Amino acid sequence: MTTGKGVFQNEQCIKGQRSGYKEEMYFDYAYSPIFQSDGSVLGIISITQEVTQKVLNARRFKTLSEFGRWTSEIKSLDSASNIITKVLRDNNADIPYALIYFIEHKLNAGSESLIARLTATTFDEDSKKERHFPDYFPETREIIDLSKEADNNHETYIELKRGTTIHSFLKCDSWPIHLLIKKGLHVKVILKDDSQAVLLLTKIPLGGDQTLSAVLICGINLLLTLDEQYMEFLKVVNAFILCI
């Protein structure tokens, strides 16, 4: 008011309550003075526009572009997994953490066994072989015999309302990989601290009748709603595994 100059701000981040939850929001705004005929300032006019989705789209496009930049470096399944988790570790605003399991299909005495192996995570450190996961994680094993998980009950769902939409999340003691293999596509879960994650399934053709199943586990930003645009972003990230 005293200087008579306007104030302009683009993509200002505000973390506030909306629909009963704390959310990450972005706004463009301008405060411009209103002058009287004598040149003095009578008041100010404020113009504000929400640009949250624009910011999220740009941020997610940057992450996807990083995947494309690393494609030529893929030499093996392990290198692909490490590249995926590296990109997500360096661009973790929308996917705070990620884990990748590869699932081997083996025939034993006429029956098929499914062995899931944890291949790479965003928690991996070059200087350390042991992985340390947050306390709020469900049980996270390096190797899982999924044939022994078949009888586990993974059907307890928690409903969360965001605005006018009700979302269902699976409550689990361990990552429901067997359920994901059974149902396909994806499974949404809620963790011990009420944060959320999504498990996504990909089938990688290996030639002939052989396929490799890959499971990508993505953490969800606590300040964002898992809406349709968010899910589409996760699906595109998951599709990058097919570049292997």
Q: What is the DSSP string of 75-113?
A: -SHHHHHHHHHHHHHHS-SS-S-EEEEEEEEEEETTEEE
What does each of the 244 residues of the chain score in pLDDT, given as a tens digit? Answer: 566 677 888 999 999 998 778 999 999 999 888 888 787 778 888 899 999 999 999 999 999 999 888 877 777 888 888 899 999 999 999 999 999 999 977 666 555 678 899 999 999 876 567 788 999 999 999 999 888 776 665 578 888 877 677 888 999 889 999 999 888 889 999 999 999 999 999 987 777 667 788 999 999 999 999 999 999 999 999 988 776 5
**How many other CB atoms sit within 10 Å of the CB of residue 68?**
11
Question: What confidence score (pLDDT) does residue 109 get?
Answer: 53
Residue whose C-alpha is closest to residue 195's, from 178, 229, 161, 171: 171
pTM of the model: 0.87
Long-range contacts made by residues 13-18, C-beta under 8 angstroms, separation at least 24?
A: 15/223
Residue with structure tokens 């042991």? 130
Q: Which of 35, 29, 34, 33 is nearest to 8 (CA)?
A: 29
